[in-house]
Each structure stands twice: as structure tokens, then as C-alpha cells.
Amino acid sequence: MLELSNVSKRYGNRLALDQVTFTVGDGRLTGFVGGNGAGKTTTMRIILGVLSSDSGTVTLGGDPITEGDRRRMGYMPEERGLYPKMKVLEQTVYLARLHGWTPAAARRNAVELLERLGLGERMDDTIESLSLGNQQRAQIAAALVHRPEVLVLDEPFSGLDPMAVETVQGVLADAAAAGAPVLFSSHQLDIVERLCDDLVIIAGGRIAAAGAGDALRAEHGSERWELLTTGDAGWLRLQPGIEVIEFDGGWAVFEAESDAARQAVLAEAVARGEVVSFTREHTTLAQVFKEVVR
């Protein structure tokens, strides 16, 4: 389990991270969401030891993270980049060896991974000769070639084509299934929603919410109801204790002050004509995010 407690970081006069505290459980895919400049990259850099924090601790399995632990972490920085003049395989093997793998094992890992990522044909080409999409795949290989036991990925899906997104999703799920704590940030909330077990939401350097996705949705999603009738649903606006969020002909999304008010809507709808559906709306991550950050 990867755990951050009270991590703060100051850049000059600006407090970039303010008492950041959250955990990434073993085998849990954890999404890290927040606006631009909220502190995601700074947090990840501190986890990896690339940056030092001003205060607070980062622990892995209860013990402070050591250099040795960090060798077993896979990191994909937000700012992508590899040696442009090195060949794809050569570079991947080099990074695996920096993590302590023997030359033969490093090579075997690299070949396997590159083939899985669809770069099997391009292994002897230099990075600079690859297309942007393939460079991104090589970048993923660079983060995973040493078979990391903890993954910290900053925007792993940005700039990827749908095929590569699929591959990376698979790789992340495999890692989590094998018991690794996986933390990744993304602006693509739909992917986060689909993949993640847990969520950490950061805003202005502070953790706004953290926990299991379902729990967060239950806690922060306002209860919304969707009504679809065959007639016009304009009368809904006049119902007491009801706030209409969206409205279009016979369709409306509303929030109810109380169960009684909601029941009254249903009764009224039935009385007025044919009800096609009356459902509780699933709260999306985007809604939770807006709610929490507000």
C-alpha cells in the first residue's frame, strides 16, 4: 500500500501541495483527478523522489520509501521524452538495466513488451524516426519494462490512439490484478470512471475527496431523477419542492427536496398521462468532480 500523509510543497510564495494525504491500496486502480495546476504532477514527482517534499511522508507498505523501492516503481512523467538517437530496443533495455535487471533478462522483457505494444517491427529504429503515436508506445514500454511493482503514471492516456489506450488499460488492469498499487492521473474522466476502483480528487493543492468510487458517488452525487412521459412535462416546474435541472418536451431531470415531493411528481405524472420511465440517475464522475471542487 502506497500512502501519503501530510505532504506539503511550496514553490516560492505559492503553496503547491497543502497537507496532501491519501492511500493507494494494493491491487487497487486509483484515479487521480484534478484541474490543471492542482498539484497532480508535483504529487507524483514527490512519490517518485524526483522532487523532495517540504514536509510529510510517503510510505510503501508502512515503511518510508527507499531508493531500492523506487527502482521497483514504474513512472511515466507528464513530460514525455526518450533519447531521440537511441534505438527503441536499445533504449528500453538500457532503462531496464538501470533498474537492476541483468542484460539477458532486460532484453527478454523489452522484446516481449515492445511486441505487446505493437512495436515489434520497429525495435531497431531510432526513437526520432517513429511517429508520435509510436513514440508514446515506446514511452509506455520505458515505464513498464522493469516489471514494476508499483505504478505511478501521469496522464498515461494522453496522445494515444484508441488501440494504444486499450493496450494500456489492459496493462494497468493486469498490474492491479497482480496486486500492484496503481495510481494514474487523467483528464479523460470517462476512462477513469470505467477503470478505477478508487478516486483521489485534488484541487488547489488540497485533497478534496478520496475513497472508493462508489462511495464518493453516493456521498457527493446529488440525488437526481429522470422522468420521461409521452406528454409535455412543463408542469414539473410548478411542483413544490422540485428543482428542474434539464428539460426537453416530455423528458426532464430534476432534484427533489424530499421523498414526498418526488412521490408527488410520480403521482402527478401518472395522473396526467402515460409515464414511459421514472429512474434514479447514475451520478457521473464529472458530476462528483464538479461538486467536490466547487
- Verify binding: residue 73, other proteins, rule CB under 8 A: yes
- Verify binding: residue 184, other proteins, rule CB under 8 A: no
- Verify binding: residue 206, other proteins, rule CB under 8 A: no
DSSP 198-255: EEEEEETTEEEEEEEHHHHHHHHSPPEEEEEESS--GGGGGSTTEEEEEEETTEEEEE
Interacting residues with other proteins between 89 and 118 (CB under 8 A): 94-95, 97-102, 105
- Verify binding: residue 37, other proteins, rule CB under 8 A: no
**Exactly one of 143, 182, 201, 202 binds other proteins (CB under 8 A); which one?**
143
DSSP state of 274: -
Burial class (CB in 10 A: 0-12, 13-18, 19+), 281: middle
Task: Pick the piece of the chain touching other proteins (CB under 8 A) from 46-54, 191-199, 227-235, 278-286.
Answer: 46-54
**Exactly one of 179, 231, 234, 240 binds other proteins (CB under 8 A); which one?**
179
Binding residues for other proteins, rule CB under 8 A, total 38
- Helix H or strand E encompassing 169: helix 162-177
| Closest distance to other proteins from the beta carbon of 14 (Å) | 15
**Exactly one of 88, 141, 180, 227 binds other proteins (CB under 8 A); which one?**
180
Q: With beta carbons less than 8 A apart as the criterion, state whether 101 and 113 touch.
A: no
Local structure of 2: helix, strand or coil: strand
**Exactly one of 68, 238, 277, 294 binds other proteins (CB under 8 A); which one?**
68
- Verify binding: residue 50, other proteins, rule CB under 8 A: yes
- Verify binding: residue 142, other proteins, rule CB under 8 A: yes
- Verify binding: residue 48, other proteins, rule CB under 8 A: yes
- Verify binding: residue 211, other proteins, rule CB under 8 A: no
Report the DSSP beta bridge partners of residue 76.
Answer: 153
**Antiparallel, parallel or unpaired: β 275-280 and 224-229:** antiparallel
Residue whose entry in the numeric block shows the C-alpha cell 503553496: 15
Dihedral Cα 10, 153, 30, 110, nearest 10 deg: -150
Residues that bind other proteins (CB under 8 A): 26, 45, 48-51, 67-68, 70-71, 73, 75, 77, 79-86, 94-95, 97-102, 105, 142-143, 146-147, 149, 178-180
